[in-house]
């Protein structure tokens, strides 16, 4: 059964919609993201051709991930991105629940859970956690 647009936007194996483009995360047969030499996820651009057929970029357009950081990089649980972000990947690698706040919205992640969502533009994230955290923003959306 085909997934809805909302389902595609909330799955790491899904697609991320830009203002005028559609981007697809490249994954292997097991569904794991294909990474470049620096460990960044690889993304291609998809668009409609003038003939009405779908076209994809012939080369990888790069990673959507911006400014990756870990819990140890945080000062008092607050991280400020250098550029405005429009999405977030956050994984709770600890053994206890964590909470984080973006744009006055607070979320809770249980151990091993991750958050992968498109959001209203933001630059600051506040994270309360006693364990390890892996995080990066998405600016190209």
CB atoms within 10 A of CB 28: 9
pLDDT at 64 (0 to 100): 64
pLDDT at 89 (0 to 100): 87
Contacts of 48 (CB under 8 A, 6+ apart): 54, 55
Contact 99, 107 (CB under 8 A): yes
Which tokens go with 60?
A: 């990888």
Residues of the chain with pLDDT under 50: 1-5, 7-8, 11-20, 141
Contacts of 29 (CB under 8 A, 6+ apart): none
In the chain, the domains with their CATH numbers are 5-56 (no CATH), 65-138 (2.60.120)
Contact 135, 79 (CB under 8 A): yes
pLDDT at 71 (0 to 100): 75
pLDDT at 57 (0 to 100): 64
SS3 14: coil
């Amino acid at each position: 059964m085909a997934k809805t647009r909302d389902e595609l936007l909330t799955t790491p194996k899904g697609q991320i919609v830009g203002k005028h483009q559609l981007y697809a995360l490249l994954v292997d047969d097991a569904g794991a993201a294909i990474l470049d030499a620096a460990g960044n996820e690889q993304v291609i651009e998809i668009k409609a051709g003038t003939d009405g057929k779908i076209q994809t970029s012939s080369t990888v357009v790069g990673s959507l991930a911006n400014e990756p950081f870990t819990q140890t990089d945080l000062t008092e649980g607050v991280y400020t991105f250098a550029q405005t972000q429009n999405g977030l990947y956050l994984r709770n690698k600890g053994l206890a629940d964590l909470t984080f706040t973006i744009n006055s919205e607070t979320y809770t992640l249980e151990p091993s859970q991750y958050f992968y969502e498109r959001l209203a533009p933001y630059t600051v994230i506040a994270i309360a956690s006693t364990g390890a955290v892996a995080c990066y923003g998405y600016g190209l959306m």
